[in-house]
Amino acid sequence: MGVYFNPGNESFAKDKNYKIYVDKTGLLNDLNELIGTPRNCLAVSHARRFGKSHAAGMIDAYYSLGSDSEKLFEDTKIAQNPDYKKYMNRYNVIHLDISTFWDSYKENITEKIVEYIYKDFKQVFGDELNYEDSLSYNLMIIYQKTKPPFVIIIDEWDCVIRNSEDKELVHQYLQFLHSLFKSEESKAFLALAYITGILPIKKIKDESALNNFSEYTMLKSKPITQYYGFTEDEVKVLCERFDMDFESMKAWYNGYLIDGMHMYNPNSVSMALAQQDFDSYWKNTSSFASINTFITMNYAGLKDDVMTMLSGGKVYVNTETFQNDLFTVSSKDEALTALIHLGYLGYDREEESAYIPNYEVKKAYHGIFYGTGVLQHCAGNAGRERLCGFCVYSESQCRTQTGNGRGVKAQQICRFCNCAD
C-alpha cells in the first residue's frame, strides 16, 4: 500500500463515518459497466465542493488492491447489486491530486509526478522495473507481471490549466496525460480512467488533447448527474433529520439545474447542517477574481447582464465558444460560460440561459462588486424598500416563499439590483 500506488481507503472511511453522509455509491454501478470498454475514460468537471473528491476517494477505496473495503461498503447502495464484490479491491490503482504537486512543483510538475509514483513502485517492485522508462511503459510492464489492470484516478486534473499561462508547460502536461490515456501501452493496462476538475478538457487546435474521454459538466452530466451535489430529496431528508427549515435551505443553496435535476451545493448544505446556521460558506477563489476582471472589462455589455441576473433575470449565453481555460476568455459568452463551470452561475439548458442560482452566490457577487464599485451607481438611483436580508424577497413575499419567513431580518435593498444599502 503506497501513497499514490494502491493507496488505502482512509479517505472514504472518514467521509462515510461523518455524521452528514449521503450515499453516492450508486456511481460505482455505472463505472463497473464501463470497465474494459471503449467508454472507460470519464472526465467529471463540476464546481468546487460538489463532491468530486469524495467520489474519487470512494472509487479508490472500492477498486484498490491496497484496501480491504468489504465492511465499508456492506451497508451501502452498491451492495444491493449482487455482483458488487466482483470488482471490489481487484485493481491496481494510481490516485493523484494534481493540486498538491502544483503547490510545490510548478516548473517541473510532470517530472515530479512520475518521480513520486516511482518511489511507490520501488517499494513493491525494487529493481524489476527500469525507472528511466516512461510511466505508461512501466504501467504496462506491471500489468504484464501482476495481471490486474489499472484504475487511474486524477483529482484536480485541470489545476495546471487554470493556473498557468505558460503554453509550453500546459502542452507538456497535456501530453503527459495523453501518454497515460491514449498511448498504445494504455490500451493494454487501462481498465478505467476517472479525472475530476472544474473546467472541461482544454481544446487545442480545434481538437481535444483527450478526446477519448466522456465529459460530465455543469452543463450536462447524464447519467451520473445525481452523484455530484445533493438532490432535493436528499436535502429534505437531511433537513428533517437535523431539524432545519427546508425552504430556507432551498433559498440559500439550491438553484443548479443540471439535466432537469435541482442540485444543491453539498459543502454549503453540510456546513449549514453542522453549524445549524444558514450563512455563506462559499469562498471566493482566485479563479473568480480573474473572472471578475472580465466582468469589469464589460465585454459586449456583460456588466449589464450581471445586473439583470442580480435582479432575478436570465440572460442568453452561447456555451460553445469557451476554450476551457481562464486565460483565453475574450467575449461575454466565454466569461459567462466560465462562471457557469465555476459554479457562480446556474444554467438552464432548455432556455440556453444563465442566472444567479441562489442567495449564497448572490452574496458573493455583492461582496466582490461592492469592492470594485460596480454596484455603487445604484445608490440613490433606484427606489429602496424593506426586503428580506435572507432571500431578497420583500417581507411579505418571503413569508409566501418560505411559509413563515422565520429568522429573517429585513434590510434596505435596491429594487433594481437587490444590492444592500
Angstrom distance (rounded) from CA 308 to CA 311: 5
Query: What pLDDT shows up at residue 96?
Result: 96
The DSSP bridge pattern shows strands 353-355 and 315-316 to be antiparallel
Query: What pLDDT shows up at residue 365?
Result: 80
Angstrom distance (rounded) from CA 3 to CA 101: 13
Question: Residue 156: phi, psi to the nearest 5?
Answer: 55, 45
How many other C-beta atoms lie within 10 A of the C-beta of residue 383?
A: 7
Query: What pLDDT shows up at residue 155?
Result: 95
Cβ atoms of 29 and 187 within 8 Å: the answer is no
Of 331, 354, 333, the residue nearest 344 (C-alpha): 354
pTM of this prediction?
Answer: 0.86
Cβ atoms of 419 and 310 within 8 Å: the answer is yes
Q: Which residues pair with 385 in a beta bridge?
A: 413
Query: What pLDDT shows up at residue 149?
Result: 96
Task: Split the chain (421 residues) into runs of 10 and give each run's mean pLDDT.
Answer: 90 94 96 93 91 94 95 96 95 96 91 96 94 95 94 94 87 89 88 94 65 92 94 97 95 92 94 93 64 74 86 92 85 91 93 94 75 48 42 47 42 44 42
| Cβ-proximal residues to 91 (8 Å cutoff; 6+ apart), any chain | 63, 64, 65, 148, 149, 150, 151, 191, 192
